[in-house]
Structure 1
């Protein structure tokens, strides 16, 4: 009886061991398959990344080295020349030194207001009644009395350029809609600018390009 029981126990143990061997073999097989799949996926991703990189480099190279047709190049040169020819030369509105410079980045001291403030134009020293001339051909688009800078004439020169002449005398001003030539008289130096009444007699000149203030010195030769 006991011998028979021992045989059964040994048989059961053998079955268990066989099952464990089969299970372990399956685990190793599955793990090996997973590793193989993972390696293949990694290789595919690496290859795809390399291909994408090469394609990107090819595209960047194509962008860096565009093919320029000689005809288009000549056309661009002609257009640039035409644009340069269409840009007028600007002349000083009067003969006078700059007594207060353009300063939009750094506030400067104002005698009249007794404080530091930006200055969107240049003040050109000149005696009262000195004739003021248009800096270039254009159309008078505004004649008004500014609360700060007094009697003012505004001229549109095209190409986004507008010149503004302030602290003018009340008499002898150009009229709205006048088409003026460079050097044509549009007014005379006065003393109507309340914001600069303590300054030496002068013309206050401003220029804008596409509605943004610019330094007249950068545009007007000999200023």
Structure 2
């Protein structure tokens, strides 16, 4: 019995050594496979083409619109509508009606009320009393006052050197100095407050200036 037990120990050692060898080979195989997979993944990632857009990233930008004061900033955004003010589409007739007295600063025109010939700095547009008068273009109201000759008056600065004046209005105030108006906004109504034109039929007396010089409104506005 003692001889058989001694013969068994070498066989156990050989089996253990064999198991260890298989274990080492298996681990080496696992590391080899893992290394190969990592190289494959890295190669695939390097071959991925990410499209690059040439377009700039879109951003939502809210622009602040400045408060308009045509007296100080005649080129402000509210007046952009009249940048090409020589174009009749930039303007609208202040009231619906026919011109009864034309613009004439060189050749005197007869005045019924004053019974004499005199120059006429604007145009008279016939319209019934209380007809609504609208801003001829976007701008800022710079003055509202009662003129001794032409009655209640509203003056609007449109920027780009243009100022319009609306006279013979009713005494019911609709706008006041500092108000910002858009083209077509109602600024008053036709009245009979003009002393110098009281004998004429009901009308709006309308004047226009460009760069501080009187101009003929009919050159800019289609009536």
TM class by shorter chain equals 0.5 to 0.7
Structure that is richer in helix per residue: 1
Query: For each residue in 1:36-66, what CA deviation from the matched residue of structure 2 results, as whole angstroms up to 9, or x when unmatched?
Result: xxxxxxxxxxxxxxxxxxxxxxxxxxxxxxx
Gaps of 5+ in 2: 1-79
Q: Which residue of 1 aligns with 2:99?
A: 98
Secondary structure of the 1:196 match is coil
Distance 1:209 1:121 in 2: 13
Q: 1:87 aligns with which of 84, 87, 97?
A: 84
Distance 2:83 2:121 in 1: 26
Deviation at 1:86, TM superposition (A): 2.2
Does residue 203 of structure 1 match 2:204?
yes
Distance 1:216 1:109 in 2: 20
Distance 1:84 1:171 in 2: 28
Secondary structure of the 2:196 match is helix
Higher Cα Rg: structure 1 or 2?
A: 2
Does residue 169 of structure 1 match 2:166?
no
Asked whether the equivalents of residues 153 and 173 of structure 1 are also in contact (C-alpha less than 8 Å), the reply is no
Q: Which residue of 2 aligns with 1:160?
A: 161
Query: For each residue in 1:169-197, what CA deviation from the matched residue of structure 2 results, as whole angstroms up to 9, or x when unmatched?
Result: 00033111000000000000000000000
Coordinate RMSD, CA, aligned: 1.5
Does residue 216 of structure 1 match 2:213?
no
Alignment map for 1:15-54 (pairs within 5 Å): none
Gaps of 5+ in 1: 1-82
Q: Which residue of 1 aligns with 2:123?
A: 122
TM-score of the two chains, using structure 1 as the length reference: 0.61
Asked whether the equivalents of residues 124 and 205 of structure 2 are also in contact (C-alpha less than 8 Å), the reply is yes
Does residue 184 of structure 1 match 2:192?
no
Q: Which residue of 2 aligns with 1:135?
A: 136
Distance 1:210 1:204 in 2: 20
Distance 1:134 1:185 in 2: 6
Deviation at 1:94, TM superposition (A): 1.1
Structure 1 residues 182, 116: closer, same or farther in 2, change over 3 A? same
Query: For each residue in 1:89-130, what CA deviation from the matched residue of structure 2 results, as whole angstroms up to 9, or x when unmatched?
Result: 111011100000000110000000000000000000000000
Deviation at 1:200, TM superposition (A): 0.4
Q: Which residue of 2 aligns with 1:44?
A: none
Deviation at 1:87, TM superposition (A): 1.9
Distance 1:145 1:126 in 2: 20
TM-score of the two chains, using structure 2 as the length reference: 0.61
Structure 1 residues 198, 90: closer, same or farther in 2, change over 3 A? same
Asked whether the equivalents of residues 104 and 120 of structure 1 are also in contact (C-alpha less than 8 Å), the reply is yes
Distance 1:144 1:86 in 2: 28
Asked whether the equivalents of residues 123 and 205 of structure 1 are also in contact (C-alpha less than 8 Å), the reply is yes
